[in-house]
Amino acid sequence: MTDPRMTGPTDFEDRLEARIRAHAAVPVRPVDPSAVARSAMAARPVRHWWAFPERRSRLAGFRVARVAILVALLALALGALGGALWAGGRLLDLTPDLPLRTPSPISSVPAELEPTATEPATVIEERSGFIADVAYTSKRFEPSVTFRTSARTAGGAEGDICAPATTSPRSIVLAHPKGCVEDLRFIRPWAVDCGAAGDHPDADTLAAAILTIPATASMTDFGDLQAAGAVPAGMFADRYHGRVIEMVGGGLFRADLPDRDHCRLLPEPGSDDPVIEIRRDMSALFVLVDVNDELVVIRASGAGHDTASGAEARSRGYARGQTEDSNRHLLGLVNGIRFTP
């Protein structure tokens, strides 16, 4: 159908332009985005979690589960703590009561002087001198022994022993610097020849045999090794069973009577160790120690060790002034003695 009003060729375009201009002339209200958003939010229905029963029950379940987990973890922690306390109490109950090491004149020495099982000791055969308070041992003597040497002078560093020491599998000889004649000896006799003591006596048996030597008014039996005053304090680092006997050596020395009282410590045949005579006219102090089922004798004397050496010591004037104090001084040349298998 044709509009009768459109007679000219440009009537349509003119009318369209007029309409567009009319629409453009109408004022348009500006748009406020924030107002639009507020209006949309106001129109949206509000939905709270309590308005939905299924959500409310689910959230409550989560809270209950969380509380249950916390309670379970707390119970486990308390159980672990209780178990640890119980186990600790059981360990204390099962631990044996260890004897306290009480100080005594024999077994207790200052901690700085006592050799320990892990302390390295200097081998005396490899040294040409001795230093005070240094742990020493012998690579030859058996049983293995560790000891320290005393200082020659108070506060000095030099040990009070002549160097070198003489050693063998059964003997250690530590001579005193006073002419290197007086000495302290560690002796593990190959056999014993002394009255009824037998070939291999223990400390008590040999002590009993020595005490039967006649005419020994100057002999002193200090008794058990653990008795107070039997040996110098700190001489031993451990407790050992033994006996202590001293002969002051009164009277005339009978150089014409070898083995005068028939009591000797015998060396191993073929060795260079000498015979040690125990006789009434030779001053000596004997510490008899039972070590690993063997007898070890620690002997201090400045009067020789047999008839020949006793006569020589007297000829040089050493044995004439030998007293109990002299032997005690020799016994104190070492301290912290410890035997190991």
pLDDT at 288 over 80: yes
pLDDT at 50 over 60: no
Segments making up each domain of the chain, as ranges:
171-340
Q: What is the pLDDT of residue 319?
A: 59
Across 9-37, average pLDDT: 67
Q: What is the pLDDT of residue 3?
A: 58
Per DSSP, helices labelled H in the chain are 11-25, 33-43, 53-94, 203-210, 307-315, 324-331
Which is nearest to 104 in space by CA: 216, 247, 228?
228
pLDDT tens sequence across 105-144: 434 344 444 544 546 899 999 988 899 989 999 999 999 9
Q: What is the pLDDT of residue 106?
A: 39
Q: Which two tokens stand for residue 271?
A: 């060795």
Let me know if 316 is exposed, middle or buried by CB neighbors in 10 A (0-12, 13-18, 19+): exposed
Order of strands, sheet of 242-247, starting from the edge strand that comes earlier in the sequence: 166-168, 171-175, 183-187, 294-301, 284-291, 242-247, 219-224
pLDDT at 93 over 50: no
Q: What is the pLDDT of residue 59?
A: 52
State if pTM tops 0.85.
Answer: no
